Amino acid sequence: MSSAFGEMTVPFPRGQKGRRFGSSLLIFFLIAVLILGVAFGLSNWIALPAVWGWLAVAGGISILCGLFILLHRNRAAEETRLADQARLIAELERAKAQSDEARWRAEEASLAKSRFLAAMSHELRTPLNVILGFSEVLRSEIFGPHHVPAYKDYANDIHSSGTHLLELINEIVDLSRIEAGRHELREEAVSLVTIAEDCLRLLTLRAKSRNLTIEAKFEPSLPNLWADERAMRQVVLNLLNNAVKFTPPGGSVQIKIGWTATGGQYISVKDTGPGIPAEEIPLVLSSFGRGSLAEKSAVEGSGLGLPIVKGLTELHGGSFSLKSQVQVGTEAIVVLPAARIVTGE
């Protein structure tokens, strides 16, 4: 009896609610009939009208018991649902707290790294400039010729290595400032075409020494942009330098500047280099990231050029993207918004 009652008072699945409730009424009706039947039988009160009264009482008792069970089950089911809901909410809040803490720690670590690199780079630049100055004096023989010719060669090596190291440190400083949000733009009206032409002059001799063809396509009468000239020069120079660096001898590099569909301006630098696998593009755009083909080519590089381009472009409200096909080449595209266009000139 107690076990049967326990089964009937346990919350039932939603699909079985009607069937189980009907079964419970039937069971209680039969129990009520049995009890009343025994009572009336012992009292010898059985008569036809009494039977109808007996059945009515039994039916009423069974309905009351069934309603009690239904209310009990609904209350138990609701309590179970609320408990499950509370447990789920607690788990979600705990997971969110863990995620927030992990993100906060990652941001703090990234900020600390950027601050450390900026501080260390500053400390390295000062003595490095002294080394470059002394090596320039030695290789220029300002105080007289060297008695040993090899000294001049050594001075040239010191100066070229120091210059390369200074360029790397400057890139680290720039990237650190961008990541730390401390890179301030000094904006003025600038011409992307003029900047690109200046950068092309710097790289022409290097491209010729590698037997590379450089093609420039600039749309005519492009207006000036409101931008940081040094930043835009660094963007163009980094893109061209990368293209010249990774394009094999006999290849070609193309730079285009023109209008975008939304009224802004774009810079496109396309090469015929080894290309970048699609899955490695996020790596190449990360700090110090280098693709597998770049590693195999043994071409020197710090992996900072493209992240700096991306960071400087985004500081101007623009976007940077790469399109690449292995063994075909890569196209780097900088898009600057229409809001940067200088009007009324």
Determine the pLDDT at residue 29: 58
Res. 84: pLDDT tops 50:
yes
> Among positive and negative, which fits the CA dihedral 197, 200, 201, 202?
positive
Q: What mean pLDDT do residues 215-237 have? A: 93
Determine the pLDDT at residue 191: 95
Work out the pLDDT band at 36, boundaries 50, 70, 90: low
Greatest mean pLDDT range, 15-19, 61-65, 157-161, 293-297:
157-161
Determine the pLDDT at residue 269: 96
pLDDT tens digits for range 136-175: 888 888 888 877 888 888 888 888 888 878 877 777 777 7
Instruction: Measure the CA–CA gap between 251 and 101, rounded to whole angstroms.
Output: 49
Work out the mean pLDDT of the chain and round it to a whole number: 79
pLDDT tens digits for range 334-343: 999 999 999 8
Res. 4: pLDDT tops 60:
no
Exposed, middle or buried by CB within 10 Å (0-12, 13-18, 19+), for 48?
exposed
Query: 85 or 121, which is more confident?
Result: 85
Determine the pLDDT at residue 128: 83
Greatest mean pLDDT range, 32-46, 98-112, 179-193, 214-228:
214-228
Q: What mean pLDDT do residues 35-45 have? A: 53
Determine the pLDDT at residue 159: 83
Q: What mean pLDDT do residues 16-20 have? A: 50
pLDDT tens digits for range 161-219: 888 788 777 777 777 778 777 788 899 999 999 999 999 998 888 899 889 999 999 99
For 85-112, give the DSSP string.
Answer: HHHHHHHHHHHHHHHHHHHHHHHHHHHH
Res. 329: pLDDT tops 60:
yes
Q: What mean pLDDT do residues 271-275 have? A: 90
Work out the pLDDT band at 227, boundaries 50, 70, 90: very high
pLDDT tens digits for range 275-303: 888 888 888 888 777 766 665 555 666 67
Work out the pLDDT band at 8, boundaries 50, 70, 90: very low
Percent of the chain with pLDDT over 70: 72
Percent of the chain with pLDDT over 90: 28
